[in-house]
Structures are given as C-alpha cells and as structure tokens.
Structure 1
Amino acid sequence: MNSPYFPVPENESERLLALASYNLLDTAPEDDFEELTVLASQICQTPVALISLLDDKRQWFKAIVGSDVSETPKEYSFCAYTIVETTDIMVVNDLREDDRFASNPLVTGDPNVVFYAGVPLITEEGFALGSLCVLDVKPKELTDEQERSLKILARQVLAQMELRKKLVLLEKANQELLETNTFIKKFATTAAHDIKNPLSSILLTAQALQMRLKNTGDDKSRNLVALTLNSSKRLLTLVDKMMAYSTAPASLLSNQECLDLNKLLKNVVNLLDVPHNITINLPKVEHTIVCSSVAVEQIFLNLLTNAVRYNDKPQGVINILFREEDDRYSFKITDNGVGIAPANLEKIFEKDVTLNTTDRFNKKGNGLGLYTVKLLINKLQGEIHAESKLGEGTTFVFAIKKTPSVVAAELNDVLYQQ
C-alpha cells in the first residue's frame, strides 16, 4: 500500500524491525562508513554521496560527504523509491524530468538536486534498510564501471553494518557470560561456606564418637560412624574444590584429572539420600576419563538428586550410560520417574525456573540446579538436553569435550610416576 508522499514496502513492519536490530539510527559518525561515501563520491564524480537509512518518518544519514544535513523527511526521500522499486540500482539522470521527483522540494529548491543514483542495502533476509547513493546538481550519466563500483561499495556498506551488528551481539554475549561467571562464583562461594561449617561440626562429632566407641566392641555403631566420617571427608573435599573454583573459574578447564568414572559415580551416590526402593545402575564397564572432577561431580550430583527426588514409582530405576567418542565423552541418565511435559524441556535449564512440582519429600526446587548444570557443561565446551514422557520418566543426555590426548597422556605419565 502506497502513501500519498512515498512508496511503502509491503513488508514495512518487518523491515522496520530489521532496521532497528542494527542499532544504527542516531549513532555517531564512524570512519568505516565515512570512507565508503568518500569513495562513492570520487568514483562517480559527484559532489554528494551518502548512506541513507529509512525509518517510518525520515531518512537518516549514517554517513554523508558534500553536505552537513543529517536527515530529511521521508516524503522527500529519493531512496524511498529505491528500496521499493529495485534490488539492483536506480539511476535518474535528471530528476526534473521524472514525474516522481519533479515537484520534490529538494529538486525545486535548495540544494537543487538534479542527478540521483542509489543502490539499495538489502539484508540476506530480503529487507531493504536504505541505500548508498550519489547526488549531483546537474544532469549526469554513470558509466557501466561506475555503476558496478557503486554496487560493490553498497555491498561493503552492508558488510560493515553486519559486522557492527555482530560486534554488538558479541559484546552482549560477553556481558551475559560475565554475569553468568559472577553468578557461579557467588553461588559456589556461598554454598561452600554454608555447607562447610556444619560439615566440620559433623566431622568433629563423628571423630569424637569414634574414639568413644573404639573399645566398646560395638562394631555396628563403629561402622556407621566410619561411614559418616568418610562421607563428611568426601563432602569437605568437594566443598574445598568448589571454593577453589569460585575464586578461579578458569580452573574448571585447567585443573584436569585422570578419573575413574565408576569410582567417582559411587562417591556421588554415597552423598545422596537414596530410598531403599530406588536402584542406581552405573556403567557396566569401568572407564577412565580426563576432566575436571569438581565439575563432573557437581553435574552428576544435581542430575542424580533430581532423578531420585522426582521418582514416584514403587521400584525406581536410574541408569547411567557412558560412551567415549573421538572428541568428547557422552553420558545418559535415564529414570522412570514422573517425567517432564514437552513444553518445559527447554525451560528447565533457565535460571530461577521451577515447574511447581513437589518431589517425593514434598519439597519444591529452587530453579538453580539444572541452570547450574547447564552452565558447567557449557564451561566444559559441551551441551545438554532432556527427553521425557509424562508419567514414564526422563533422560538427560549430555556431552563434554575431551581433554586433548597430549594433555591426557601427560596427566597419565604424572600419575604413573607417583
């Protein structure tokens, strides 16, 4: 549908959204764009060249040579026709003789524009954001070489726009990553301190109780105390690793260890409150992996805790599967629990998202567990997703990047030398 003053693209709403996504309107001059307009002016031998972006009411000039005007009303815009009527180049040798422009105030009055040539700036999605154009105050014709050069420069303008957009997105991603790392650091530090104090008390109490039971002959009680001591020591070691990571997040990638996977998983399971009617099956074959132990322990601690908490079956079963691939380790944790609705399979990894579901202990989650798992897996250059059927169970599938073989070999050499 056309306005009385200028043509309007059929996809105008979408085009305006695309233009806004580049965040270029009303920004400061930039040399990369200015230089391209200078080249356009010199190649086409015109006194004026400009990069015009058209919003809903005006054409705004990201760069201009030969004039100090920053914008004009859209109804005066020659480029409004360019973005609608061509995908190649629009050349008007004498605007005074063209019915579309003969009465335009920019033609009939100052600056008395006579010649116009413009190339639309069209994105890969097909949205024309504006144009690169050249103007003159006298009739003119462009040679084939000049037209070809103007098209090449227009592609460079669009490339600069795309580059600038990607840089903005990269800065945003970096900021989000910084916020994420800050969150992990604060979370780990707070959790570690909150856990360590009562754990130390439990450890001291268990040690005192062990001394009292030493000569009583009560083997059953001594075994229970020994189990408490061992669990407390493992937890304290895990907490210390969390605290070390919280102060130096890069250690998650640099502190790689040669780990016995099934031994690690048994230690994690021993930290859980597993009801008697739930069975956790570890991989049938022993495996050795090279990775960050604190990260893998935290990942499995969260996933297995959820698998236990949200299992409503008389006989719960949790299976852990492992596969080593060329460049990564792949894991599956499958349970026969309550399941997750398809609409929530992506949401569960978002921060502070809870599904208002109570577990077998009549408690609700805090929305941090799976979010933390995903952050840790991303940090290990991996990915995770969930598959589920309501009432039947859930499978978490995740993979983490392997440590380069050279590093793994060096770690093994160190272990063998000890």
Structure 2
Amino acid sequence: MLDYNRNFLKSHYGVPFSESPRKISFCTHAIQSPESIFVIPDARKDDRFKNNPLVTGEMKAIFYAGVPLIDKGGHALGTLCVFDHKPRTLSDRQKNTLIALANQVVNLFELHRQNLENKALQKNLLKKNSLLKDFAGVVSHDMKMPLANIITTTDLLKAKYKELLDEKGLDYLNYLKSSSFSLSEYINGILLHYESDNLTINQRELFDIHDLLEELEDLLNADYKCVIHLPETNHLINCNKVALNQIFLNLIGNSLKYSDKESPEIYISVDENDDFYLFEVKDNGIGIAPDKLGEIFDLFTIATDKDKNGNRGNGIGLSTVKKLVTNLGGKINVASEIGKGTTFKFTARKADIPTQISGPEYDTSKSYKN
C-alpha cells in the first residue's frame, strides 16, 4: 500500500521489512503505469532501478512484477507484487493469474470496508430501534389510562343519562366506546410487536402442543362459535412456548374474525423432521386477495377492510407473527383462495432432543375435535 511518502506492506512473505520510503519503491512506478501489470525482468539493466538500494543492497530485488490495486473509484491504492533475486520472465498465464489475484485483493478490501460500514449501520439501527421501543412503551403506557377512562365514562354516561339521550346521542357514545377499544387494541399490538424481539429461539421449554392449543381453543370459543380440529398425533415440543402461543393466537384469531361462514372451521396440523417443527393453520374463511398475499406480513398492511364484526384491523398482528417465526429460526408462507379459505404454514427450528411421544399415557387415536 502507498501513501504520500512511504510504501508499507499490509501483507507480505519473504520480505524482511514492513515498510520503505516511497521514493525507492518499485510499486510507485507500478501504480503510475498505464499497463495492467508492471514487469521489470532485470532491475540491474534498468536505468530507473539499477542504483536502487533495494537492488544493490541485501534484498537483491532483481526481478519485479506488480499489478495496481485499483478501487471502484479508479484510484490505485497499492499493488500486489512479486520479487525474485534473479532475472525472470512471466508467461501470459502467470500474468493473468497475478491480475486475477490482484482483483480478488481489491474485492476483499471492498468487502471489508462494506462490512465495517454495515456494522456501524447495524449499531446505529439497533440504537434507534431501542429508542423507538422505549418511546412506544412510554407513549402506549401513558395512553392506556386515558382510554380506560374514556370507556368507563362512556358507560357511566349511558347508564346515568340514557333517558335524556336520543338514539343519535346513544350512537355517538357507542361509537366513542368502539373507537376507544380499537385504539386500545392498536396500542397493545404495537407493544407486542416490539416486545416480540425479546422472544428468541434460545428460550425453550418442553410442553405438549395439545395442551397449548386446547387452552387457546377454550379462550377463543368464549367469543366465537367455531370448530377447531386439533392434530390427531401428540407432539412434545421443545420451543419458546410464549412465542408459539402468540403465533397461534394471532393466526387462529384472524381465521375466526375474518370468516363469513355460519360455522367457522379451523384445521391445525403439527409435524416434524430432523431440523424443524412444521405447523399448519387452515381455515374456511373469506380468503385473501391474490394481490395482497405478497404484503400481508408488512407492518400496518391490511388485507381486508373489515372483519365479520365490522371492525377494521390495524395491520400489526401478521407482522408480529412473521417476526416471532423468524426469531424461532423458521419461515412462514401463506396460500389463499377467495371464498374458500386461507392456509398458513410455518416452521420453528428444533433442539436436538426426541419430540415424538409414545406410550399408554397418550391416546394417539383420539381425534381431538369439538
């Protein structure tokens, strides 16, 4: 590498020093040469080098070949070069090889620079993301209490002044309460989205997948009349239970909210291979338009204007699901057909332990259908 007044060797072999004055450097000539490779077969016969201390001294640099290291901006940073103590010539193949190696050196310099920039950018993004999470947490917390007050006050107004309000006045109060609930759900979604960063693949516990799904089924059946078909085969899962619970809660909840059937049905299957748990959630709901499938996992993107109760979604749930699946070392994809239903498939990376249950305590013939 060359700077204003010195030639320093970033990497070298067979040379007894790490830098020398630029004024005696062979490489100074190489980076100024219009040729792609600069070759001196015998420096003792070249007027530019015959009195050079690198030639006449202990180093005895008789032969030299150097290729300029030229960056994307066209600047010669230094050279990749070879010396010998006796005269030499290079074949075309040797020249092309040296040129190819020099190009690789430049590529490595560029990758190293890019890596340093990416690390700096990542550090900056992590800092900004942390500040954003803190901001979201503080703002969300500060908004929850006023919203709760609005909802409570609305109920009090309806109870106390119902006789004094006409139908339109009651509609206003109902709208106020509904909007407050929507905003509260939105705030909870944002908090969950940022808190999902803390749920990682390394936070594992051993649990029966049926236990988790049956708990969710009881919770969701309180609000929706539905049939949820659980997996017929039992699996013991070693995974982040909180993350998996949140994934299923979002996917099953969406299937129920966006159903146009009198009896919504959801089919859940679980399988595994050597490396991953394989999950599937399939419904018979309204489906998702083809032009929306590519963006439904984007934050604040809404696939359908309103759910079965007339409420508008906030576009946070599926984005959170994808983040959680990614944190579990897996991937998620979706297939859908308008009017027939939607299928989500996702994976989670396994730990190296057996997960298939067998034995008299588990009835694998049970269908687990409500």
Percent identity of paired positions between Structure 1 and Structure 2: 28
Partner of 2:310: 362
Contact 1:118 1:132 in 2 (8 A): no
Deviation at 1:185, TM superposition (A): 7.4
Distance in 1, matches of 2:11 and 2:285, equals: 62
Unaligned runs of 5+ in 2: 13-17, 41-65, 80-87, 149-187, 356-370
Aligned pair count reads 266
Distance in 2, matches of 1:289 and 1:190, equals: 36
The correspondence for 2:287, drawn from 339, 347, 351, is 339
Contact 1:185 1:249 in 2 (8 A): no
TM-score w.r.t. the length of structure 2 is 0.56
Contact 2:231 2:269 in 1 (8 A): yes
Contact 1:119 1:131 in 2 (8 A): no
Distance in 2, matches of 1:35 and 1:368, equals: 50
Partner of 2:26: 45
TM-score w.r.t. the length of structure 1 is 0.50
Distance in 2, matches of 1:270 and 1:397, equals: 23
Contact 2:30 2:68 in 1 (8 A): no
Unaligned runs of 5+ in 1: 1-27, 51-65, 67-77, 83-88, 94-116, 123-127, 136-141, 199-238, 409-418
Deviation at 1:405, TM superposition (A): 2.4
Cα distance, 1:188–1:258 mapped onto 2, change above 3 Å? farther
Cα distance, 1:260–1:134 mapped onto 2, change above 3 Å? closer
- Larger relative contact order (Cα-Cα within 8 Å, sequence gap ≥ 6): 2
Within 5 Å, give how 1:253-272 maps onto structure 2.
253-272=201-220
Distance in 2, matches of 1:160 and 1:307, equals: 51
Secondary structure of the residue aligned to 1:296 is helix
The correspondence for 2:101, drawn from 148, 152, 158, is 152
Cα distance, 1:294–1:143 mapped onto 2, change above 3 Å? same
Partner of 1:313: 261
Distance in 1, matches of 2:141 and 2:236, equals: 28
Secondary structure of the residue aligned to 2:296 is helix
* 1:287 and 2:235 matched: yes
Within 5 Å, give how 1:11-410 maps onto structure 2.
35=10, 45-48=26-29, 50=31, 89=36, 130=74, 132=76, 143-144=89-90, 147=95, 148-149=97-98, 151-173=100-122, 175-176=124-125, 246=195, 252-272=200-220, 274-276=223-225, 278-355=226-303, 357-405=305-353
Distance in 1, matches of 2:24 and 2:287, equals: 66
